Amino acid sequence: MTDLGTFPGGSDSTATAVNNRGQVVGSSSTARGNSHAFLFDHGVMTDLGTLPGGNFSGGAGINERGQAVGLASNLRGYVHAALFENGVVTDLGTLPGGSDSGALGINNRGQVVGYSSIAGGYAHAFLYEHGVMTDLGTLQGSNGNSHAQAINNRGQVIGISSTASGDVHGFLFENGVMTDLGTIPGRNDSNAFGINNRGQVVGESDPGTNPYLPHAFLFEHGLMTDLGTLPGDNFSEAVGITESGQIAGNSTSHAILWTREK
């Protein structure tokens, strides 16, 4: 475990994503107490800056080309989804009627996903490509909320959305269609956190009531499988999956790795 440190004079930092080249993105406080997105590469933490006039930014995702995404404040004080590349911070804007947005994932084709506010006070998942931000909608219709959290190199998008029943479910979006991933049997809510290029999705499913005791899941071939917990634990979540199907996550108090038996 290597301490990535902080910006000079900063007190804390958080890493959020890493690519296969070992480049890490995240956020660090600065000497002035603001939070800025960083890129950590070959032992050096670089400040990715903010939008013109802004004082805040955060890194959330990075692809194999070193393109990073996240969010950044602008001169008017709004926070917008941002692309960090070659020393330039690009404002990705918002969906029509929205004021704020955030980017959470980017694939190797440069497609970006995240969330944006819209008219009426809702937030919708978006896909940004070729300079255009597209509203992915929700499982509930226009009067609902959704967030896109990751995208693979096939353009499959996963995230979370409100449903017509009032619950919150993970979704898979591909070919213009948003599919409800459902829940582990007997549970009401779910959330999708990670997807690999084979289309396998991981996340957590919970009762939707207190106490909050989710179980990690693997979704593949249209089926959601409960991954359980470590012995003696009462909750778990899966946050990422490799191309070989190894799954990383947490179980109550320990980080864990699920590996399929051969």
Residues 6+ apart with CB under 8 A from 186: 207
Residue-level pLDDT at 165:
92
Residue matched to tokens 């990422």 = 240
Ranges of residues in the chain with a pLDDT under 50 are none
Question: Three-state SS string across 196-230, please?
Answer: CCCCCEEEEEECCCCCCCCEEEEEECCEEEEEECC
Residue matched to tokens 């997105």 = 37
CATH level 2 (architecture), domain 13-197: 6 Propeller (2.120)
Residue-level pLDDT at 124:
98
Q: Which of 198, 197, 209, 203 is nearest to 180 (CA)?
A: 203
- Phi then psi for 96, rounded to 5 degrees? -55, 130
Residue-level pLDDT at 142:
80
Distance from the first to the final alpha carbon of the chain: 29
Q: Domain coordinates of the chain in residue numbers?
A: 13-197, 198-262
Q: For the sheet with 101-106, list strands across it.
A: 101-106, 112-117, 123-129, 132-137
Residue-level pLDDT at 212:
86
Span 217-245, pLDDT tens digits? 999 999 999 999 999 999 999 999 999 99
Residue-level pLDDT at 262:
72
Residue-level pLDDT at 209:
82
Amino acid identity at 16: T
Cα→Cα distances 257→49, 230, 237, 251, Å? 34, 10, 11, 10
Residue-level pLDDT at 48:
98
Reduce the DSSP state of residue 51 to 3 states and report it.
coil
pTM for this model (two decimals): 0.95
Asked if residues 105 and 112 have their Cβ atoms less than 8 Å apart, the reply is yes
Dihedral sign, Cα of residue 20, residue 23, residue 24, residue 25 = negative
